[in-house]
Amino acid sequence: MSYSRQSMGSGSRSTRGYEFGRTYVVRPKGKHQATIVWLHGLGDNGSSSSQLLESLPLPNIKWICPTAPSRPVSLLGGFPCTAWFDVGEISEDLHDDIEGLDASAAHIANLLSTEPTDVKVGIGGFSMGAAIALYSTTCYALGRYGNGLPYTINLRATVGLSGWLPGWRSLRSKIESSNEAARRAASIPVILAHGTSDDVVPYRFGETSAQALAMAGFRQVMFKQYEGLGHYTVPKEMNEVVHWLASRLGLEGSR
């Protein structure tokens, strides 16, 4: 493995005092053109993400793979595990943990804040990681976090695999209330992918998320359906992500 390990230290506590875990970095093998923060699913860590991303043929991308804080999770009856925010049962009535979402979105923004200005930055993730990636994307469009503080990262691409969009019901009215938010929403490419046999985050949540983004004015949303795929990734899906990122970010040697 040619990735290096970094520990984020004391600047990485969320508002509730949960400490974010270790961050793993996969350095670009070619010219550094883009940096993407990749977010793992519930109970996982940044190390497993880095091993998957290391194998992708994207030599111009630097991958940053943080580890979520360990916290009690309502879905697991309060059992603690790594989670970007608290979550209950995935349903239409899902309550959004805005405080937890904001804390993780701010941690991710902080990881991207020191990237060179000529490097394009993006966010991607799987399952709960996809949810926080999509939430961060809505913060980018709105120019602020859920708590009203300014969001200052200029995102250029978002990838969401087997996830869902927190706050999808109210997104359209928020975006439509600001010309600047509408402009940013229209500018960012988003790819969502979901398996039809997902028994953890049901397929309809991926589909609903894509529709909610499109209706809110995110004009560059691509939704990929994978017949028979459960709650995991497969090489075909990752290959599509590779080609999409190379095309959308204009990476060298990616034809």
Q: Please, which pLDDT band fits residue 104 given cuts at 50, 70 and 90?
A: very high
22-50 mean pLDDT:
96
Name every residue whose Cβ is closer than 8 Å to that of residue 153 and which is 6 or more positions away in sequence. Answer: 109, 112, 113, 121, 136, 140
pLDDT of residue 2: 35
Distance, in Å, from the CA atom of 166 to the CA atom of 100, rounded to the nearest integer, reads 12
In the chain, what percentage of residues exceed pLDDT 90? 80
Length of the chain: 255
| pLDDT tens for each residue of 68-98 | 999 999 988 889 999 999 988 776 666 788 8
Does the pLDDT at position 168 exceed 50? Answer: yes
pLDDT of residue 12: 55
CB 106 within 8 A of CB 145: yes
Burial of residue 214 (CB within 10 Å: 0-12, 13-18, 19+) is middle
- Find the helix or strand (DSSP H, E) in which 156 lies: strand 155-161
Name every residue whose Cβ is closer than 8 Å to that of residue 83 and which is 6 or more positions away in sequence. Answer: 42, 43, 68, 69, 70, 71, 73, 100, 128
CB 153 within 8 A of CB 140: yes
Q: Which domains does the chain have, with CATH numbers?
A: 21-249 (3.40.50.1820)
